Amino acid sequence: MPRLLILSRDAEDYRKILASADLPDLIIENSPSKDCEIIFGAPSMIPGVLNDLPNLRWVQSMWAGVEPLLIPSLRKDYVLTNARGVFGGLMSEYVIGYLLAHERKVFSRRQAQLSKTWDKTLTGTLHGKTIGLLGVGSIGEEVASAAKFFGMNVRGFTRSSETSPDVDRYYHHGQLSEFATGLDYLVSILPDTKETHKIVNTEVLKTLPSHAIFINVGRGTSLDEAALVDALNQNRIAGAVLDVFEQEPLPPNHPFWDAKNLIMTFHTSAPSFPEDIAKIFIENYRLYLAGKALKYQVDFEKGY
């Protein structure tokens, strides 16, 4: 009878969903115990209990990003699986939503309304624009698909994979400058790894056209934040939309709060809805019981 520990601020929701799923043989523990072999949790809450679970065999992360579990001093003698397949649609909504807010002048027209002005300023369109995706994994593929639906040209920058039929052209290591040249929108969906550290730097931002918009829905570490502040305040790019930051919550004195044409959304682009995340656990639990390979395994070396 496998024993499971749930670690989440929504633990009660998860417990109810799993109970109603009537999973065979599963015992849900209330606190860490030496017999626990499975954790289903938010990565930030897991490091503190890792040493209390000598029989741990499998951790199912409730998030896509698992950085808290990659810290060198932590044990890695278990199978780590993350949440995939549920964030792509939410991320696509976010990216398309904010690109449309930009093209359709949603904020300036709202201001016009508040000042009772009939504002006929011409709007732009996504159709025919060029979007560059930094990182095209399972989430990036869905963003590419949405971009293609709206008639955009789609470029992808990846380490090596070229899996999306919606990417018109792929770029790899050494081609970052070529990739960024002429983009209308640059979108980072990169995980936090050594290779992605501050990959969006002064040089990349200088390569972008002055009308370009940068969106970060990956991880804050992939951006050189000071470089972005300069690029925005000097009007070298037209704007940025950031959902993730090096330090979260953003410190009160951070220059982002006063940067020009910057929109921030506080790590809300792709919330983990318990109904969606529980489905992933349930699917993997059935594989676990059957002794089969689990889905969405994370490579501790790569970090994703």
The catalytically annotated residue of 159, 248, 275, 286 is 248
Q: Which is it for the CA torsion 158, 161, 165, 171, positive or negative? A: positive
Give the span between the Cα atoms of 147 and 288, in whole angstroms. Answer: 36
CA distances from 283 to 23, 137, 297 (A): 10, 21, 13
Phi, psi for 35 (deg, rounded to 5) = -90, -10
3-class SS shares of the chain: helix, strand, coil, % to 5: 35, 15, 50
State the nearest-atom distance from the C-beta of 123 to its own copies, in Å. 5
The catalytically annotated residue of 267, 275, 286, 301 is 267
> Which of 150, 163, 201 is CA-nearest to residue 180?
201
* 267 flagged as catalytic: yes
* 248 flagged as catalytic: yes
State the nearest-atom distance from the C-beta of 139 to its own copies, in Å. 15
State the nearest-atom distance from the C-beta of 269 to its own copies, in Å. 8
State the nearest-atom distance from the C-beta of 74 to its own copies, in Å. 26
Chain positions contacting its own copies, by CB under 8 A:
89-90, 93-94, 96-98, 100-101, 103-104, 106-107, 109-110, 112-113, 116, 118-123, 125-127, 146, 149-151, 248-250, 252, 257, 263-269, 271
Give the span between the Cα atoms of 143 and 109, in whole angstroms. Answer: 27
State the nearest-atom distance from the C-beta of 208 to its own copies, in Å. 23
> Which of 97, 95, 62, 93 is CA-nearest to residue 80?
62
The catalytically annotated residue of 141, 142, 155, 219 is 219
Q: Which is it for the CA torsion 123, 127, 131, 133, positive or negative? A: positive
Shorter beta-carbon distance to its own copies: residue 70 or 241 = 241
Residue type, 114: L
Q: Could you list the active site residues? A: 219, 248, 267
